[in-house]
Amino acid sequence: MGACLIVANQTLGGAKLDAAVRERVAAGTRRFHVVVPMTELGYEVAVWSPPDPFFALPAVPMEDVGDARAEAQRRGELRLTRMLERLREAGGEADGELGDPDGAEAVRQALEHVEVDEVIVSTLPAGLSRWLKLDLPSRIARAVDVPVTTIEAEA
Q: pLDDT per residue over 89-108, tens digit each?
A: 999 999 999 999 999 999 99
Quote the domain boundaries for residue 58. 2-152
Ranges of beta strands (E only) in the chain are: 2-7, 29-37, 93-99, 118-123, 148-152
Q: What is the dihedral of CA 101, 130, 31, 57, to 10 degrees?
A: 80
Phi first, then psi: what are they for 48, rounded to 5°? Answer: -125, 140
CATH number for the domain spanning 123: value is 3.40.50.620
Nearest to 122 by CA among 30, 29, 19: 19
The total domain count for the chain is 1
Per-residue pLDDT of the chain (155 residues; tens, 9 = 90+): 699 999 998 888 888 999 999 999 999 999 999 999 987 766 565 555 555 445 555 555 555 556 777 878 888 898 899 999 999 999 999 999 999 999 999 999 999 999 999 999 999 889 888 899 999 999 999 999 999 999 998 87
Nearest to 87 by CA among 7, 155, 32, 150: 32
Phi first, then psi: what are they for 45, rounded to 5°? Answer: -95, 105
